[in-house]
Structure 1
Amino acid sequence: MFLTRFRVNTARPGARRLLSSPQTMHAAVMSAFPTLLPTDSPPPDGPRVLWRLDHQARAEVLLYIVSPHQPDLTHLVEQAGWPAAAAADPHNPGWHTRPYTPLLDRLTAGDQWAFRLTANPVHTIRRHPDEPRKITAHLTPVHQMRWLLERQDRCGFRILEKPDAQRLLPSGTTHHGKHEHHGDRYELSVSDRTPRSFDRSREPRTSGRTKPVTLVTATFDGRLEVTDPQALRHTLAHGIGRAKAYGCGLITLAPATQRPAPQRAS
């Protein structure tokens, strides 16, 4: 397994095209692996290629990739990087890749990490008993947090709770109908919840022929404790939730003493 970081040069037209469409970015990421064909499907039980965009600032966008094979991002440097700088320094091709397996192997129950995850929190609903269930996005931070909390046990971790002194409410919870809102209970925040609409095809959409994809994502930052190292290794290699081809599901770790940002490649 490998972890890769690529800084996107947002001033380049190619970068703007990539950032405007998760479908286009997915194609560019998959093109980094010469042994993978566009028609290949990820193995059902093996690790897959995961990616995520972190918008640190207006002109600082980082692409993270976790993959079973080492990528070649030369084409991304040419489209959306600094090709002249990369050509001038043979030791710096324009991206950074490091082995990910050593981090996975040293995960131990009780370890605490900061984490970041961009996911597609959804659930299924049925308005009438005789109609099929429909996949629907969670739109509020309350429901998006609950979506992640419901998955933490089987993913091999638990999200840490805030000390009482840091909570605004005595129990850290409020009630919304039949449900509790745990937003003040856990060391967890939700950001970047803007829905995105894009064409599934890489070709321009023509009226009446294709339907745009609408994707609701949420970025989670927080702190976790490892409860099941093997399950967490599986989560880090396979991702969480749906829409993995569109930049969702990749969870990254950083030392818990730092702010919740990804384990950086170097």
Structure 2
Amino acid sequence: MYLTRFRINTARMGARRLLSSPQVMHAAVMSSFPTAPPAAGEGPRVLWRVDHNSASQVLLYIVSPDRPDLTHLVEQAGWPTAEEGWQTRPYTPFLSRLENDGIWAFRLTANPVHSIRRTDGEPTKRTAHLTPRHQTQWLLKRQKDAGFRILEKPEEQRRLPEGDAHELIVHGRRDLAFGKTEQTSGRKNRVTLTAVTFDGRLQVTDPDALRRTLVAGLGKAKAYGCGLMTLAPVG
């Protein structure tokens, strides 16, 4: 497994095109591999995420089973004259060092959804969670199976009557809509999704499960920049 970071030059027209469409970005990311990556499933797959840290610092992160070649992205949306257009590091050594009870800062961009049925007998429909409180609950419901526990705040640090018990911030909500052509039928569909970013601190409760989460992603819409969780040392 590999972890790659690429800084996007937001002043370039190619960068604006990539950032305006998750489908275009997905195609660009998948073009970074000479052979087709593994099909979607529960195992390792290609995950990507765009972090808008500031107007001038926009970073693309990729986790992948194979080492990517981002030459085309450098030419379209990077700095072609720079010595190092992107950074790729082996990810497996880091994953192997995860231990039970370890504390980490984390970032996750995800597509929090739930299935609803408005009337009896009606098929269920996948619907986005739109409020930070419900988005937080979506993540808390998945933490055990994903191999971690989000840390709770001390009582004296809680400012709100509800939804403020954990060391977690929900921000960067983006409502996305774009066209998609089905490869098998050629039919054109409209895709809509809501993406939010979670920043917080977690404790490892199941290292093997957390490793699976880090390489397979969490939640839906993984092809469109959702599901990638990354860890960083606390402090």
| TM-score (norm: length of structure 1) | 0.84
**Residues 39-90 of structure 1, C-alpha deviation per residue, up to 9 Å, x if partnerless?**
x623x343000000000011211000000100000000000001122xxx3x
Q: Find the counterpart in structure 2 of residue 215 from structure 1.
A: 193
Unaligned runs of 5+ in 1: 175-182, 203-208, 258-266
Q: Distance in 2 between matches of 1:194 and 1:19?
A: 12
**Residues 24-51 of structure 1, C-alpha deviation per residue, up to 9 Å, x if partnerless?**
00000000010117xx623x34300000
**Residues 201-254 of structure 1, C-alpha deviation per residue, up to 9 Å, x if partnerless?**
49xxxxxx8443211011000000000000000000100000000000000000
CA contact (8 A) 1:23 1:201 kept: no
Quick one: which amino acid aligns to residue 46 of structure 1? G
Q: Distance in 1 between matches of 2:174 and 2:79?
A: 29
2:32 corresponds to 1:41: no
Quick one: which amino acid aligns to residue 10 of structure 2? T
CA contact (8 A) 2:8 2:77 kept: yes
| TM-score (norm: length of structure 2) | 0.94
Q: Distance in 1 between matches of 2:134 and 2:42?
A: 29
2:102 corresponds to 1:111: yes
Mapping 1:145-184, distance limit 5 Å: 145-168=136-159, 173-174=161-162, 183-184=163-164
Q: Distance in 2 between matches of 1:201 and 1:138?
A: 26
SS of aligned partner of 2:81: helix
Instruction: Kindly report structure 1 stretches of 4+ aligned residues shifted beyond 6 Å.
Output: none
Q: Find the counterpart in structure 2 of residue 180 from structure 1.
A: none
CA contact (8 A) 1:21 1:199 kept: no
Unaligned runs of 5+ in 2: none
Q: Find the counterpart in structure 1 of residue 165 from structure 2.
A: 185
Larger Rg: 1
Q: Find the counterpart in structure 2 of residue 96 from structure 1.
A: 87
Mapping 1:21-170, distance limit 5 Å: 21-36=21-36, 41-42=39-40, 44-85=41-82, 89=83, 92=84, 94-168=85-159
Q: Distance in 1 between matches of 2:188 and 2:42?
A: 32
